[in-house]
């Protein structure tokens, strides 16, 4: 292959067959390694992984395990995390990825097809926008944005650059979950009008942080990127940034995005008419800013509603699951828990249909709760790049689902009931609430299309 255009044309012709091999199966008479040699490194989708300490490490491993993909770059501001990930990926695929701490330099590589963004939330949209402008496709972990304005920028970017942007709400690609939603749309419980979603965990206190010098293994300036500069504290990196509004988005977007997305999908709704939220930081007195206990209510014009119950510090399950969604309809109920399964009931609470799956899913696993199932989502991303297959979660839908959670957080932070324009999702007649539609950025780092 003499240039990237020729290579991409070849990819489009070969991916369909390769996709069928992504779950451990290969053509008769061929081992996985021999097939990889036949396909050839230069003909596989070339990706760069941005952010590989925790969830990103699991994602990198999953991408590397796909026979029609090669992890070409590992991009992380933590030298230790990068080295660990490079070693892990090198054992999975037949090549060693390159270390490139600054993902922007990796984007300069014409052989690179896509950027996988698993960095902290404040980096999600800005990194995706830079990758889009560089002509790359993007696999973007949820939430797709830190604030609603960034979500709108992502849609503008996809419209302008015509690239593929897939949000990482992987349940959209889980076969039995998708089948359950299809049954819902087919009327198995009549018209569904209420979706209850939840997430439970038992997270410890993060304490009160102390300012510390930046360690030699960390590029803290690049870690902060578009966020206005703050001193480093010892309870921030790597995971606890989730609970600070400056960098994170709280449990509502950290885990609520998954189930609220399924609820929106099942109810076939887009933008709401009203959003409220109640809760707070109840369990501990520490630096954690976002709620550890939160109830969000989202109403829609078609006489339907979504609720989300988030408990970060009490793990008692609902319907035997730490995460899930229940649809209540005119003629019955459907339950989708944390796994690739569903149950539908009639109004007498008798099971009328059930789909089971033995693949174990641990929703409390912070890194890789469902690697085998998530591979379906990765292959959907590859197929969209190569052959134009519709995305299971394109950025238009990803933004809508993310926005529902963001509106819940805005209602929580302002203590107000938000009245929403169902045409575009904007908050009506509330300038104070609309101030949280966007954020302040470090000078020179403002995201744009």
DSSP letters, 47-103, are: EEEE--SSHHHHHHHHHHHSTTEEEEEEE-SBHHHHHHHHHHHHHHSSSPPEE-SSH
Region 37-45: mean pLDDT is 63
Tell whether 306 and 331 lie within a shared domain.
yes
224, 307 contact by CB (below 8 A)? no
Q: Which among 182, 169, 86 is positioned nearest to 373, based on CA atoms? A: 169
Does residue 371 lie within any of the structural domains?
A: no
Residue 178 neighbours by CB distance under 10 Å:
18
Does residue 22 lie within any of the structural domains?
A: yes
Does residue 144 lie within any of the structural domains?
A: yes
Tell whether 48 and 97 lie within a shared domain.
yes
At 438, is the pLDDT very low, low, confident or very high (cuts 50, 70, 90)? Answer: very high
Q: Check residue 362 and give its pLDDT.
A: 58
Which residues, 6 or more positions from 288, have their beta carbon under 8 angstroms from its beta carbon?
205, 206, 240, 243, 244, 281
Tell whether 160 and 271 lie within a shared domain.
no
Tell whether 187 and 224 lie within a shared domain.
yes
440, 297 contact by CB (below 8 A)? no
Inter-CA distances, 202 with 317, 321, 418, Å = 11, 14, 30
Is a pLDDT exceeding 80 seen at residue 34? no
The model's pLDDT over 227-270, given as tens digits with 9 standing for 90+, comes to 999 999 999 999 999 999 999 999 999 999 999 999 999 999 99
Tell whether 357 and 383 lie within a shared domain.
no
Tell whether 111 and 199 lie within a shared domain.
no
Does residue 444 lie within any of the structural domains?
A: no
d(CA 335, CA 326): 5
Tell whether 93 and 191 lie within a shared domain.
no
Q: Check residue 364 and give its pLDDT.
A: 55
Does residue 99 lie within any of the structural domains?
A: yes
Residue 194, class by beta-carbon neighbours within 10 Å (0-12 exposed, 13-18 middle, 19+ buried)? middle
At 369, is the pLDDT very low, low, confident or very high (cuts 50, 70, 90)? Answer: low
CATH number of the domain encompassing residue 274: 3.30.360.10
Region 270-279: mean pLDDT is 98
Q: Check residue 37 and give its pLDDT.
A: 42
Tell whether 228 and 157 lie within a shared domain.
no
Tell whether 404 and 268 lie within a shared domain.
yes
The model's pLDDT over 137-148, given as tens digits with 9 standing for 90+, comes to 999 999 999 999
Residue 73, class by beta-carbon neighbours within 10 Å (0-12 exposed, 13-18 middle, 19+ buried)? buried
At 22, is the pLDDT very low, low, confident or very high (cuts 50, 70, 90)? Answer: very low
Tell whether 65 and 141 lie within a shared domain.
yes
Q: Check residue 31 and give its pLDDT.
A: 41
Tell whether 264 and 328 lie within a shared domain.
yes
Tell whether 271 and 405 lie within a shared domain.
yes
Quote the pTM value. 0.89
CATH number of the domain encompassing residue 94: 3.40.50.720
Q: Check residue 359 and give its pLDDT.
A: 65
Q: Check residue 371 and give its pLDDT.
A: 79
**Mode of pairing for the β-strands spanning 304-311 and 293-300:** antiparallel
The total of structural domains in the chain comes to 2
Task: Tell me the residue range of the domain where 115 lies.
Answer: 4-172+378-387
Does residue 152 lie within any of the structural domains?
A: yes
Is a pLDDT exceeding 90 seen at residue 42? no
Region 40-68: mean pLDDT is 91
The model's pLDDT over 185-204, given as tens digits with 9 standing for 90+, comes to 999 999 999 999 999 999 99
3-state percent helix, strand, coil for the chain, nearest multiple of 5: 35, 20, 40
- Please give the mean pLDDT across all residues of the chain: 91
Residue 330 neighbours by CB distance under 10 Å:
11
């Amino acid at each position: 292959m003499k240039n990237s255009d020729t290579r991409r044309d070849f990819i489009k012709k070969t991916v369909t067959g390769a996709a069928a091999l992504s779950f451990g199966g290969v053509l008769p008479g061929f081992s996985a390694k021999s097939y990889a040699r036949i396909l050839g490194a230069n003909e596989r989708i070339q990706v760069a992984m941005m952010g590989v300490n925790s969830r990103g490490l699991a994602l990198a491993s999953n991408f590397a395990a796909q026979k029609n993909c090669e992890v070409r770059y590992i991009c992380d501001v933590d030298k230790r995390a990068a080295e660990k990930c490079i070693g892990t990926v090198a054992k999975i695929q037949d090549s060693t990825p390159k270390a490139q701490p600054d993902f922007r330099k990796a984007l300069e590589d014409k052989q690179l097809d896509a950027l996988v963004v698993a960095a902290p939330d404040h980096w999600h949209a800005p990194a995706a926008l830079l990758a889009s402008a560089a002509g790359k496709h993007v696999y973007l972990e949820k939430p797709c944005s830190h604030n609603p304005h960034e979500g709108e920028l992502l849609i503008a970017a996809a419209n302008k650059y015509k690239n593929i942007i897939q949000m990482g709400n992987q349940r959209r690609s889980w076969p039995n979950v998708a089948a359950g939603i299809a049954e819902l749309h087919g009327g198995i419980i009549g018209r569904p009008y209420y979706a209850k979603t939840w997430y439970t965990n038992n997270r410890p206190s993060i304490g009160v942080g102390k300012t510390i010098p930046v360690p030699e293994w960390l590029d803290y300036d690049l870690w902060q990127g578009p966020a206005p500069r703050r001193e480093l504290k010892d309870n921030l990196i790597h995971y606890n940034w989730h609970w600070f509004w400056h960098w994170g988005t709280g449990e509502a977007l950290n885990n609520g995005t998954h189930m609220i997305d399924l609820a929106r999908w099942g109810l076939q709704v887009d933008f709401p008419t009203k959003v409220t939220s109640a809760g707070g930081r109840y369990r501990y007195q520490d630096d954690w800013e976002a709620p550890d206990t939160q109830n969000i209510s989202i109403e829609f014009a078609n006489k339907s509603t979504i609720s989300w119950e988030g408990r970060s510090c009490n793990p008692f399950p609902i319907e035997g699951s730490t995460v899930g969604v229940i649809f209540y309809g005119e003629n019955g109920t459907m339950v989708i828990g944390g796994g690739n399964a569903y149950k539908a009931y009639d109004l007498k609470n008798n099971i009328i249909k059930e789909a089971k799956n033995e693949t174990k899913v641990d929703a409390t696993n912070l890194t890789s709760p469902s690697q085998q199932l998530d591979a379906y989502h990765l292959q959907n991303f590859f197929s969209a790049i190569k052959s134009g297959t519709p995305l299971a979660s394109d950025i238009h839908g990803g933004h809508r689902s993310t926005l529902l959670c963001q509106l819940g957080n805005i209602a929580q932070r302002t203590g107000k009931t938000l009245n929403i324009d169902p045409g575009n999702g904007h908050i009506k007649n509330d300038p104070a609430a609309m101030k949280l539609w966007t954020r302040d950025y470090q000078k020179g780092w403002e995201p744009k299309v």
